[in-house]
A = this chain, B = another copy of it.
Amino acid sequence: MHESPRNPRRFLEDFAIGETFVSASARVTAPEIMAFARSFDPQIFHLDEQAAHDGFFGELVASGWHTGAITMRLFVESGFLREIGIVGLGVDELRWTAPVRPGDELHVRCEIIEVRHRPHRPDRGVLRVRVETINQNGLTVMTQIPNLVVPAKPDRNPV
């Protein structure tokens, strides 16, 4: 989609604001939700379908960090930045906007919103991407703006 076969490697200068891409989708199951919770977020509303009725959400929902991890996998598997890797300095404005329930099918939509050159570090810059995680009903369940490290073109970076 975003790569031509003759030029598989992209640099900071090759990305444009407004460029978008969409990932494949992944189904989230109750066993996966509970397994993630046992390892990383052992709270009643992530651990047990029956007990979750008495919890904050009134039903079993995925940990927000699970949704974030699934989003990362979809982002990596999309092939975006495949050659250099997806290396994040951090994330701004991470928001969990709707619950993720067993059986939900999530995909990720990304849009480049800023290409930031850094004068003090000419060999690499930062790509800011608006990432939305969306369920099978078109409802956005998570949004975030990761700041990704991307190498600049070597010819701008004499050794």
Contacts and interface: CB of A to CB of B under 8 A. Distances in A.
Interface of A: 36, 39-45, 55-56, 63-66, 68-70, 72-73, 76-77, 84-96, 149
Contact of A94 (B70, B76, B90): B90
A97 to B, nearest CB: 8
A95 B66 CA distance: 18
Contacts of A84: 56
Copies of this chain, count: 2
A85 B76 CA distance: 31
Contact of A76 (B41, B72, B76, B96): B41
A2 B87 CA distance: 37
A95 B87 contact: no
Given A36-B69, A43-B86, A65-B72, 19 more contacts: A39-B69, A39-B73, A40-B69, A40-B70, A40-B73, A41-B72, A41-B73, A41-B76, A42-B76, A43-B85, A45-B85, A56-B84, A56-B85, A56-B149, A65-B65, A88-B96, A90-B93, A91-B91, A92-B92
